[in-house]
Structure 1
């Protein structure tokens, strides 16, 4: 009986030691697991912080179908999608609906406000309902453009009937309602060119007409603006504007809806800090002209200009 009792006592002690050992292992495992989980959570938090609080949210960008604005809007779209993990919806509209859309909140932002001349009437109308974040590009210009092989230098030269007959008294324009179209209508009145026709078309159609005429060295007059790829592809010149109808040098502004800073703070910050040069914009436009999609051209530029993009992300 004593031997049996001793054997039972020994087994009990062994069992107790095994349990203690297992408990120690579980404790160590739990500590290790907790440490791993803590590290994982920290990494997740860092990733979430890097992605930003706007990740997964949608932002609507309005733009006009000018080659310049196609370039800039797609670059901003690429940055918001790849750097902030946002969903970006593009809204191609005319200038009037672009501004009214920002004002009424149906669009969130645009990087296509030509000021102080081309879009000034829209800013005057909607200034109390939008937020102007200032220029994203300096050094723009608008006016009437002709190939350098045409022997005219000023809008006043269009009063010459010989010049009018060469182009059938027609100026090839872009979308109706665009600021440059309204300025050109004013120019026709100011310069006494009421017999002339301002042909409404689109930015793309105007460029094709210009290319066709240029290749055949035929006379043509178009509404033009800088930056634009056509100045890199063709030898062109602005007609002098002694009456100052088109104004001087302009800037392209970023304009957003009220409340965007509170709703999408990091997207707002990127839009506020977005700034580039005419050469930057023209690089994207030329790549599109040469056959790349706007998305691919924008992605290529963003990849090649990481330092500049990082400035927008600060």
Structure 2
């Protein structure tokens, strides 16, 4: 009897026959994935992970750098497929109507335990500024300025809402808009000089280890409870998970921790890595994550996803 030789390709084919539709090829219309990236390092990091996985699975990824408002419009109009950065509850006012109407879809929470509210250096907190209600008594030391990030950002809008409502006596304060990098440069310079500054802070982010900062209480009505406690969700255009089920499965699996994102962001900010190179380095150091992230996921040609990605990344 002649022994039967099974090649790797043959084994994949046999596996596909054995498991049926789960190993079907991905339709051509689903093989290009357009991801929104809004200029925040945490979303650069998570988008870098997603695009690295998708590229290794044989997809074509198109990362579109855009603003938060334009991201929601792009999802609604079908020009963007995936956004990994819906911070809730701070973005609720920008997205709730679209979610309720079904114009866009919320897939899952991809990060729990985040924070998003105003912060001050610890030396300002030690001097008595621990709540938003404490700011105005020290307006001269703060220069009556609150530093935000890019125009159109939800956090900036919440700060402006506080000012417009004269909440906490901050009606005569000014919002200073710039960018994540610009705000952090200003904050870092003030912190090193032990000057007083109040700015928009969040976790995960390396700012939490580079500067000794304190998250202010009192902003629950604006930033959410528990000192700006936040959850980050994955959004897609309407119907994506149904029409592109393999991609939908991966997005349903994809979740992060604050510690993971801190490591990824440090690679980008501290070591000059691209989002994709930081993601590749992190995945190589934590290969077991692939078995969770790619459970039930295939390549575009229908082969098992996790082994293909491990091979592509040299694992």
TM-score by length of 1: 0.81
1:87-124, CA deviations, whole angstroms, 9 ceiling, x for partnerless residues? 11111111111112111110001110111x11111222
Q: What is the match of residue 192 of structure 2?
A: 215
Task: Provide the alpha-carbon RMSD of the alignment.
Answer: 2.5
Q: What is the match of residue 105 of structure 1?
A: 78
SS in 2 for 1:132: strand
Bigger radius of gyration: 1
Asked if structure 1 preserves the Cα contact closer than 8 Å seen for 2:83 and 2:234, the reply is yes
Closer/same/farther in 2, CA of residues 86 and 121 from structure 1, 3 Å limit? same
How big is the shift at 1:72?
A: 0.9
Hey, what's the Cα distance between the residues in 1 that align with 2:146 and 2:245? 44
1:93 aligns with 2:66: yes
Q: What is the match of residue 279 of structure 1?
A: 259
Equivalent position to 1:175, from 128, 150, 165: 150
Closer/same/farther in 2, CA of residues 297 and 243 from structure 1, 3 Å limit? closer
Equivalent position to 1:304, from 253, 276, 285: 285
Asked if structure 2 preserves the Cα contact closer than 8 Å seen for 1:52 and 1:266, the reply is no
Q: What is the match of residue 162 of structure 2?
A: 187
Asked if structure 2 preserves the Cα contact closer than 8 Å seen for 1:53 and 1:266, the reply is no
Asked if structure 1 preserves the Cα contact closer than 8 Å seen for 2:90 and 2:222, the reply is no
Higher relative contact order structure (alpha carbons within 8 Å, sequence separation ≥ 6): 2
How big is the shift at 1:208?
A: 1.2
Count how many residue pairs are aligned between Structure 1 and Structure 2.
Answer: 278
Closer/same/farther in 2, CA of residues 109 and 212 from structure 1, 3 Å limit? same
Asked if structure 1 preserves the Cα contact closer than 8 Å seen for 2:82 and 2:236, the reply is yes
Q: What is the match of residue 275 of structure 2?
A: 294
1:146-204, CA deviations, whole angstroms, 9 ceiling, x for partnerless residues? 110112111111221xx222232111100122111111112222223111110111111
Hey, what's the Cα distance between the residues in 1 that align with 2:275 and 2:285? 15
Hey, what's the Cα distance between the residues in 1 that align with 2:24 and 2:212? 46
SS in 2 for 1:223: strand
Asked if structure 1 preserves the Cα contact closer than 8 Å seen for 2:32 and 2:59, the reply is yes
Mapping of residues 1-314 of structure 1, within 5 Å? 42-43=10-11, 45=13, 53-54=25-26, 57-82=31-56, 84-115=57-88, 117-127=89-99, 128-150=102-124, 151=127, 152-160=129-137, 163-188=138-163, 189=165, 190-241=167-218, 244-248=221-225, 249-291=229-271, 292-314=273-295
Q: Identify the range of structure 1 (61-70 vs 105-114) with the bigger mean alpha-carbon deviation.
A: 61-70
Q: What is the match of residue 25 of structure 1?
A: none
1:273-307, CA deviations, whole angstroms, 9 ceiling, x for partnerless residues? 11121001111011212122222111111112221
TM-score by length of 2: 0.81
Hey, what's the Cα distance between the residues in 2 that align with 1:304 and 1:242? 38
Q: What is the match of residue 27 of structure 1?
A: none
Hey, what's the Cα distance between the residues in 1 that align with 2:117 and 2:96? 21
Asked if structure 2 preserves the Cα contact closer than 8 Å seen for 1:71 and 1:294, the reply is yes
Closer/same/farther in 2, CA of residues 221 and 40 from structure 1, 3 Å limit? closer
